[in-house]
Structure 1
Amino acid sequence: MINSSIWINFVLFSFLFSAPVSLSDIEKMASNFINQKTFEIKEPISTLQLSEYSNITIVNFHPSGFVLTSNDNQLIPVLAYSLNKNFDILEIPIHLEMTLSKYEIEIDQLLQNNIIDNENLYLWLNLLRNKESEEAARNVDPLLTAEWDQDPSFNLQCPYDNNGPGNHAVVGCVAVGMGQIMHYWQQPQTGIGNHSYTHPNYGLIEADFENTNYSFSNMTDLTGNFEVQQLLFHAGVSVEMDYGPDGSGAPGGPFSPFDNPNAFSALQENFGYSNEMQWLSKDNFSSIEWLELIKHELDNDRPIAYDACANVGCHFWNIDGYEDDFLHCNWGWGGQANGFYIYSALGPDDEPIVFNSEEFIIIGIMPTSAFLEGDINGDSLVNIQDIILTVNLVLSNEYNSLADLNSDNIVDILDLVALVNIVLGI
């Protein structure tokens, strides 16, 4: 009789030299992964491999949840997951298609160039053996509660079009991304000014922001009632949305030197959001720096607007949480496929990964009324408690953007002196 430990070691040794993973092992790994993260036992109900994404498998679970896996044990096992959403392959948002295409291209390059991270082999083995994974070193639970969409019942205040869903043009991803962040902050109560423009198909489109009361307390998280529809339409008007029955588009930020309306400028000019907001390009950061920038923003409870452009166009969504290097994406598609997605590279940061895209983020998104200089602990007061907190930050060499009063990316004695002067009214 073969000793059981010898047999197990033989199987594990064999696995180290196999590349593609069987569907049964993929399903087993995904089941172990998701059940380690929840007290509710989840059973796989479908395992799907799509022809256009040959390196990726989708495992859906009952009653809810999905795991997106790679198909090769040389690669990181889990690419994305959710504990409370399923993955409908018939309703994949275009911006999620971009992310899946990015994964596919990266995996192809890693395999073709034989870029192997041996740690991935052991990740596969540990999950197949149901060995408990380490808890996330850093995480922020999803900040947004809204799961809004572009179609009925969300688009009923958009221009009338009998070729569109519900006889209206669709909302547009930029308006949904803006609206979900404003819903998070519950601001503004009223907007600033008004705006109008002439659409080639729908004629004059206008919104009166300053005479509108945005009743956030009456807005629903999952359905588009009147108040939600109004906010989404006004967000669309503020960026001069190019409405259409099949898709509506607008710029997320200042792509050109021309003064075109966009989400970045409209949040400030029409909805009273902070002048400290920044529009940043991934081109100016390494992947590690980019990921850390995103995490730092989420650590300070500020959801992010993410804009990515590829050959299929530009798309806009929200990132509102993270778990280690998995970013929680709210795609603005009625909650479909919302989940934690690995940021990238499926390999070391110094390995070149070619993907024909541009990526941008808007950070610092918060209403002007939410920002009180020197209010480090967020109690809407500036007093001795904030001074004590800043002293502790200085002594521990920790960073908090609210305490960085001179914006030099460190919290030191200069910030403490500035805070004392604010408290004393100097």
Structure 2
Amino acid sequence: LWDETTGTSLAYIFDIVPAGYLVVSTDTMIAPIVAYSYKSDFSWEDVAENILLQMLKLDMHNRLEAISEGIMDRQIVVKNEEMWGKFLNEDSTGPVERSPTVYGPWLTTDWHQHSPYNDDCPLDPITGDRCVVGCVATALSQILNYWQYPTTVTFTQSDSYTSEIDPSDGNGTRTIPIDATRASFSGLLYNSCNPSDSAKADLCFAAGVSVRMGYSSAGSGTSTAKVAPALAGSYYPFSGKPPERWGYTSADLLTSNTDYNWWESPHYVSEDLLYDQLSANMQLARPAEMAITGSLGGHAIVVDGWQSDGRSYHLNFGWYGGSSTAWYALPSGLPSGLNIIRYVVLNIVPTSTTQSLTVNTSGSGSGAVGKVPNRSSLTRGTHVLLTAVPDSGSTFAHWEGDLAGSTNPACIIMDGDKSVTAHFVQASPTQYTLTMAVDGSGSTDPSVGIHTYDEGTVVPLTATPDAGWMFDHWNGDVTGSTNPTSITMNGDKSVTAVLTPSTYSIDYVVAHWVNGALDPNDPCQISLDQILQAIAWWANGTPVPQTGGQTIDLDKILDLIAKWADARCIESSISQPLALPKALSTAEAASVVEATRSISATAEGQAKVTVTIEAKQAITGLALDEDLPQGWTITPIDNGGATFNTQEAQWLWLELNAGETKTVRYQVEIPSAASA
């Protein structure tokens, strides 16, 4: 929010999803949270009726000016800086700890100045449109509706007057004769603060006439100070005091603004006393009407709530455009000329009649009922917020007596003596589901399927494999290989027992290897015989039985052989000499490959050997073995692309093309005791 004249940033406004907004100050000397709502969105429409926007513009400008000139009350500055420090030092992942008692908001209405509320207002003689209600009358009519009092009001001809106002729309002054007797009504049905449209129009027009509203279609206005005498014949410091017409027991006009320090005592009070009385009214569920100054002129609003940890009050702006209500940190510690609060009409009490409220509890459970206001005797018409608080092991079920339903908290209107009972029942424990499954052949306890348990139950888990199978591990919300084990039900859970064959068939292991089910970091899960079987399947184009028709990928075979050889898997995989899928005779071998060997001595007991092999035809598997005497060792120099097994002194190729040549070089070391 910017100051359009100076370009200064006045406040930061954040939208809240799904609804609401947050207004944050730009200076740590100002309260961190200036305004917020979880109900209505922030409106940027720059019109006089958008009271929140106009109020923020002037209020933030004034507060920043007071700071820059060093004239804001130092105690207020220190308090604001302490609050900023608390916010800034908190862990951003959690809420700041604060637990004020919240009183209100007490109004259940969001009335505005247009139809149906202005349906009884006169026509504008210049525009021909219906005049608007006026913010003073909108606020007053909502307070009258809150108290649902009176049901009858009578205006005489002596109450008639001539309305004159220039709304500054360029069309000049409107002069309208007001016949006050038209504003009288009898037997108004408030319908638990939800009157019909015609009743709303009657109430709004009567409220306007009672404060001698100046009417126009572009804006209607009068002084908020007239509300006090119109309600209860109370003190009015200006000329032209309107007569009392609403018959209220009390309505007091107060100010702490130094512009009105000439008012009689006790109507001019300190700022602390003004806020003390305002908060006391909110604790008694008594809405007040406040006059403020905005960037486009004066406004009247309803104050109908308060939070006990500061000067954050709930305001009802009486506007239809969006920002109709807000919690607002009203200004404190500002000198004359910078305080947007002019004065307030509070202690609005319609009658001396009081009503009693009795609360009880019933049911198989137990609990208590909180009341705000917490009084046994209340002014007739007071709204009371009831909150059912169940004890541990119980839950609130519903209201009985003069309050029905299960809404909690719930509001009851004291339009008579009331008796309310909160019905509590024993709470059913929270329950969660456990889903059991098996991967493999076997069973579990609990059995495969969905089971329900109370919260906190410790459930034993056991996996039992079928014959030929063994338990391997758990998957899901239980992991590891402990069997039996257990799980604590603190939420919905899913557990799978993974079972594997205790003896592997070649097709099973190779199929799982092909499908990527075997651990690539543990190649010893598969034996050399199984590798050779896979080579044979690949060479013949035979699908692996367990894969449902999938053939073997040679790249996977080569990758696994490399890992298998590097991991020295021979001892655990084979207990007999290496054998190709098909052994070749000497004659057959000669027609398949041509091999030459050369040996050169390099030192005593050492020699370098070179073996060159040329494939005469395509080969799908070739092994080169060196059968060395005991104690002789081989150190490879160049393996010619083959996989070398040190223990067996063996080179293995899986595929050679016709005419392809492979060369192997290695060094032989002969023990000194060996013959030359």
Report if aligned partners of 2:291, 2:344 keep a CA contact under 8 Å in 1: yes
Q: Give distance in 1, aligned partners of 2:179 and 2:101.
A: 45
1:379 aligns with 2:356: yes
The aligned runs of 1:227-306 (5 Å cut-off) are: 227-253=199-225, 256-261=237-242, 269-274=244-249, 276-283=250-257, 284-306=268-290
| Aligned-residue offset at 1:358 | 5.7
| Aligned-residue offset at 1:111 | 4.3
The aligned runs of 1:124-273 (5 Å cut-off) are: 124-126=87-89, 129-161=92-124, 167-194=129-156, 195-199=159-163, 201-208=175-182, 211-217=185-191, 220=194, 225-253=197-225, 256-261=237-242, 269-273=244-248
Aligned to 2:67: 110
CA separation of 1:212 and 1:63: change in aligned 2, threshold 3 A: same
Select which of 1, 26, 41 maps to 1:86: 41
Considering only CA atoms, is the larger Rg found in Structure 1 or Structure 2?
2
Task: Please list the CA deviations of residues 306-341 of structure 1 after superposition, one character each: whole Å capped at 9, or x if unmatched.
Answer: 123578543211000011320100011136241110
The aligned runs of 1:13-28 (5 Å cut-off) are: none
Aligned to 1:389: none
The aligned runs of 1:385-424 (5 Å cut-off) are: none
> Is the deviation greater in 320-329 or in 355-364?
355-364
CA separation of 1:193 and 1:110: change in aligned 2, threshold 3 A: same
Q: Give distance in 2, aligned partners of 1:124 and 1:300.
A: 31
Select which of 9, 14, 31 maps to 1:59: 14
Q: Give distance in 1, aligned partners of 2:125 and 2:337.
A: 42
| Aligned-residue offset at 1:61 | 1.7
| Aligned-residue offset at 1:205 | 2.9
Aligned to 1:338: 325
Q: Name the amino acid aligned to 1:295.
A: S
| Aligned-residue offset at 1:240 | 1.7
Q: Name the amino acid aligned to 1:82.
A: S
CA separation of 1:203 and 1:285: change in aligned 2, threshold 3 A: closer
| Aligned-residue offset at 1:218 | 8.1
| Aligned-residue offset at 1:230 | 1.4
Q: Give distance in 1, aligned partners of 2:335 and 2:241.
A: 34
The TM-score normalised by the length of structure 2 is 0.43
The alignment partner of 1:270 has SS state of coil
If each structure's helix is expressed as a fraction of its own residues, which one has the higher value?
A: 1
| Aligned-residue offset at 1:301 | 1.1
Q: Give distance in 2, aligned partners of 1:77 and 1:289.
A: 24
Task: Please list the CA deviations of residues 234-289 of structure 1 after superposition, one character each: whole Å capped at 9, or x if unmatched.
Answer: 1111222110121101122255443432xxx5xxx222211x32111224333322
| Aligned-residue offset at 1:207 | 3.1
Q: Give distance in 1, aligned partners of 2:135 and 2:216.
A: 12
The alignment partner of 2:286 has SS state of coil
Q: Number of aligned pairs?
A: 319
Q: Give distance in 1, aligned partners of 2:20 and 2:177.
A: 44
Tell me, which stretches of 5 or more residues in structure 1 are unaligned? Answer: 1-47, 382-398, 404-426
Report if aligned partners of 2:183, 2:205 keep a CA contact under 8 Å in 1: no
Q: Give distance in 2, aligned partners of 1:109 and 1:83.
A: 30
| Aligned-residue offset at 1:57 | 1.4
| Aligned-residue offset at 1:62 | 2.2
Q: Give distance in 2, aligned partners of 1:353 and 1:318.
A: 23
The alignment partner of 1:341 has SS state of strand
Aligned to 1:328: 314
| Aligned-residue offset at 1:363 | 1.4
The alignment partner of 2:202 has SS state of helix
- Larger RCO: 1 or 2 (CA < 8 Å, sep 6+): 1
If each structure's strand is expressed as a fraction of its own residues, which one has the higher value?
A: 2
Q: Give distance in 2, aligned partners of 1:211 and 1:225.
A: 14
| Aligned-residue offset at 1:291 | 1.4
Report if aligned partners of 2:113, 2:138 keep a CA contact under 8 Å in 1: yes
Q: Give distance in 2, aligned partners of 1:127 and 1:209.
A: 56
* RMSD across aligned positions (CA): 3.3
The alignment partner of 2:112 has SS state of coil
Q: Name the amino acid aligned to 1:107.
A: L
Report if aligned partners of 2:151, 2:187 keep a CA contact under 8 Å in 1: yes
| Aligned-residue offset at 1:100 | 3.5
